[in-house]
Chains A and B, each alone.
Chain A
Amino acid sequence: MTFALHTALFFRRKVLETLRQPVWIVTGLSTPLLYLALFEPLLRSVAGGAGLPRGQVLDVFVPGILALMAFGAGMGAGWVVIWELDSGVIERLRVTPASRFALLLGTVLRDVVMFAVPAVLVIAIAIGFGFSAHWGGLALMLVLLAGLTAACSAASSALGIGLKQIGSLAAVVTGVQLPLTLLSGILLPLSLGPRWLQVLGHLNPMYYAVEAARDLTAGTIATAAVGIGFGVTAAAAALALWWGTRSYHHAMT
């Protein structure tokens, strides 16, 4: 099937591109490890209370870190897209009969892998430090966060194609990144905060993914939060993939 072949070809192309720039693999891994090494002790010392029980800091914190990794792995796609627009790569590929969805999906799948591989390593390391893992829940959580990466990656590509300039993309992504991550309770659960903060969080699609991720790592799979998390993430990913494909259809320098 042509679509599957094209997706595989574009995925391979992106993987080779990544392997040739090992610096990204290193930073992809070092960022979460730095959070674990430098931020977790701080969290541990302020822990105590219902929302953040002492002794379970990692159980609350690791899903947040993984969600941050999922977000970060996806949001880089737009930069490369702009570079490919400027060097005419996308224009050349658009003149071939290649599927535009496959073109987008090649990058999205690479980003999912670039999330999943370091995520598994981080989980392994966290378990060594007392993170109590529930295997079925962890597996489901990785699927859920892979969906978050896919949504971010496709949206980032679409933004890159739409904005065309590295400077504009950087402004939008950094402008959106902080409120999105803060209002999803990545570092600390929003349930610790005042009511207005929780209300704002409910407007953020990422919030539901992080809430679901916390339930899943705790091994409570059949909860409303998990169902909503999967629903919202799937909807966001579908919307972003549609947006990204549509952008590739009209991509122009």
Chain B
Amino acid sequence: MPVTDLPSDAIRTSGLRKAFRIKNQSVEAVSGIDLTVAAGQIFGFLGPNGAGKTTTLRILTTLLPADAGEAFVAGADVRRRPQQVRRRIGYVGQLGGADASATGRENLLLQGRLYGMSAAQTARRTDELIEAFDLGAFADRTVRSYSGGQRRRLEVALGIMHRPPVLFLDEPTTGLDPQNRANLWDQLRELRGTGTTIFLTTHYLDEADQLSDRLAIIDHGRVIAEGTPAGLKQRYSGDMIDITPTLPPASLPSLEQDLASDPFVRGARAEGDRIRLSVTDPTRAMAAVFGLLAGRGIGIRAASLAQPSLDDVFLRETGRSLRDAGPPAGPGAATTAGEKVPA
């Protein structure tokens, strides 16, 4: 049975691949991604910068053709029926996409007409969105004068102008202050309440954890883990150990490397005065670690089984911390030179 016949799936991909030529070398950004996103969910796509998140999103939104594999979005084949897909999706890109030389209202009015809404429909919907996103005070000023938060609200409003059943957002809260970030989360949850499927990429752990109903963790173009945030963390709950040695925090990184080379340890990460270990067998790993530390005359202040975070899931699967895996995260990170290459 073709995958299009499953109406409850808003997005379905199989074997998606995409390579880029960079300096005469072929670099695979997406290496066989299989995803299923049920309708009405917020689906988080978590991974470090350069993991292939944006490339996947661009394939799903018809911006970029895949080299191989299939993708169906809102029931339409992305490769064969891109126009159908475009009519059924909204998109809020990493770069924003609001036209700075036009007013907020003009941006919205144009967007509506492009989706085939009548002038009257578009005007009504524009007023509605200006109200819902609290844009009224500056809707008739050019976007150039907007603050970052105001601009982002307009861009999300542009993305849902035509009430698309599926909305894509690429790093939607990068560069936003905590207040605007929390507001955007609320708005996305409200949208989910109206039945919209939301697919968002993020490199923020807390965002993926708190906002998504389900999430996929992506690294080097592959999905390395998928599930609900709670389920993913639960899956590794017995495998995390925190060790607090009697050492100053500055000397932990070298110890972290030594510990990571133990056969029972899959990954290690220094966090403040302690080291978090992802292990295969907690009992034997604990014994091995105690032995190693004792052999060096290093004492242990505390040792415990730890509640895993999403970062631990990443650590467990890749041996690296998501925090260390890409360029520094935070405001402006999305516009660093490294992200200019479609990644």
Contacts and interface: CB of A to CB of B under 8 A. Distances in A.
A6 B113 CA distance: 8
A253 B340 contact: yes
Interface string A78-110: 000000101111011111111000000000000
Contact of B106 (A13, A92, A95, A252): A13
B91 interface: yes
B97 A88 contact: yes
Contact of A89 (B64, B83, B98, B340): B98
B61 A95 contact: yes
Contacts of B102: 13, 16-17
A20 B142 CA distance: 10
A192 interface: no
B62 A89 contact: no
A16 B111 contact: no
A45 interface: no
Contact of B99 (A2, A5, A89, A253): A89
15 contacts: A5-B113, A9-B114, A16-B102, A17-B99, A88-B93, A88-B98, A89-B98, A91-B91, A92-B93, A92-B97, A92-B158, A95-B62, A97-B87, A252-B63, A253-B342
B210 interface: no
A93 B161 CA distance: 13
A96 B114 contact: yes
B114 A20 contact: no
Most buried by A among B62, B89, B114, B342: B114
B116 interface: yes
Interface in B49-88: 58, 61-64, 83, 86-87
The bracket for how many chain B residues form the interface is 20 to 34
A96 B111 contact: yes
Interface residues of A, number: 24
A67 B89 CA distance: 45
A67 B62 CA distance: 40
B94 interface: yes
A193 to B, nearest CB: 43
Nearest to A17: B101
Contacts of A84: 99
A7 to B, nearest CB: 12
Most buried by A among B58, B89, B93, B158: B93
Nearest to B61: A95
A158 B97 CA distance: 19
A88 B96 contact: yes
Interface in A113-128: none
